[in-house]
Chains A and B, each alone.
Chain A
Amino acid sequence: MLNFIWATMVITGFVVAVINGRMTELSTAILESGEESVMTVLKLIGPMSLWLGIMKLAEEAGLVNILARLFKPLAKFLFPKIPADHPVLGAIMMNFSANLLGLGNSATPLGIKAMHQLQELNQNSRTASDAMCTFLVINTSSLTLIPTTILALRVSANSNEVTAIIGTTLFATCCSTIAGILVNKVLLKFELNNYG
């Protein structure tokens, strides 16, 4: 799927640029995208290292296991193939909490940590496991209680009702997350290949 999407985007883009005569813009944009990628990763490495350090501490202190146990009832529904009490459930719960609090920069490193542990359960296969699909879909549809970035933007635009959008955001994000989980469940069930 990613192969297809990627190639389609590049090839369609090229053809349209030829028709529109926007080759110069296209060349600049391509080179700038490389620079942007490095900047994004550079910006990610700092908070990521920091959170991975904190996560290691939380693990050694037994906190991750406690979180994993708290999360057990919901985990049974979302991730039926992950053994109960597995530490990855703690990592997943840390990621969900960071998302809920609107701490985007912290949610990504914690999510990657969880992906690593899911990959161990997946025996380092190149194909995403059921649990990874579920985890990814929940993350792409976002779980926000407090949309911090948007609130900051509204404050700087001198809004009189900064928080008016919290309720509507909560409603929309619940709808998208529930839809994501359901679609994922259905697709997992009807997929012909049975992955681990």
Chain B
Amino acid sequence: MVNIINLISQSAIPALIVFIILLALYKDVDVYDVFTTGAMEGVSIGIKILPCLIAMLMAISVFRSSGALDLLLGLVAAPLQKIGVPKEIIPLGLIRPLSGTGSLGLVADIINRFGPDSFIGKLASTMQGSTETTFYVATVYFGAVKIKNTRHTILAGLIADIVGFFAAIFICQLVFN
């Protein structure tokens, strides 16, 4: 099972690229020229994203390093534990929407402490895999096209994250306990 999934993951990109090039050749496209024209856009998009990312990562790092996140954690921990959320998992739920590398670090830490096949280890894995870093995605996607008014997107994204958080706890308790 692992091998099949690995094989698909590993060969998906090369196979797709070769397929597209073959199809383009068949359609008489100047493959090299067209590829480089497209690739040129990548640099300018990167430069457009950078200021937004600097702003967002600064705010997140201020929030984390000052201890404000721990404070928030202290506030929500008791009520969440009361409704049956394991306390080891609560920091992950808070950091997941803010920072992808931060939450991956937490999952690695949880897996090291409790083991990958423990209940907490599986729950942390499920949580990390089941949602994206909402703030990063919103910053990068909107930053690239210079959208200033993001309307309700962040709110809807965070609600989805919360639903994902509880869905992960529910299904893991059902399957692994």
Contact = CB atoms under 8 A, between A and B. Distances in A.
Contacts, number: 362
Interface string B111-125: 110011100011001
Interface residues of B, number: 100
Nearest to B9: A148
Q: Looking at chain B's contact residues, is the secondary structure mostly helix, strand, loop, or mixed? A: helix
Contacts of B23: 58, 61-63
A172 B132 contact: no
Given A60-B27, A126-B147, A195-B151, A172 B57 contact: no
A171 B142 contact: no
Contact of A53 (B35, B58, B62, B104): B35
Contacts of A188: 152
Nearest to A116: B145
Contact of A157 (B13, B116, B126): B116
A151 B7 CA distance: 13
B39 A52 contact: yes
Interface in A164-196: 164-169, 171-173, 175-177, 179-180, 183-184, 187-188, 191, 195
Given A34-B58, A54-B17, A20 B155 contact: no
A149 B127 CA distance: 12
Contacts of A158: 116
A41 B143 CA distance: 12
Interface in B141-177: 141-142, 144-157, 159-161, 163-164, 167-168, 171-172, 175-176
Interface of A: 1-2, 5-6, 9-10, 12-14, 16-17, 20, 22, 25-26, 28-30, 32-34, 36-38, 40-42, 44-46, 48-58, 60-63, 101-103, 106, 108-109, 111-112, 115-116, 118-119, 126-128, 132-133, 135-137, 139-142, 144, 146-151, 153-155, 157-169, 171-173, 175-177, 179-180, 183-184, 187-188, 191, 195
16 contacts: A6-B59, A9-B63, A20-B66, A33-B58, A44-B140, A60-B29, A62-B23, A102-B9, A128-B150, A133-B151, A135-B141, A141-B164, A153-B111, A157-B112, A159-B117, A183-B155
Q: Closest 10 CB pairs between A and B?
A: A56-B38, A49-B42, A176-B164, A147-B129, A180-B160, A159-B116, A29-B65, A175-B167, A13-B62, A17-B66
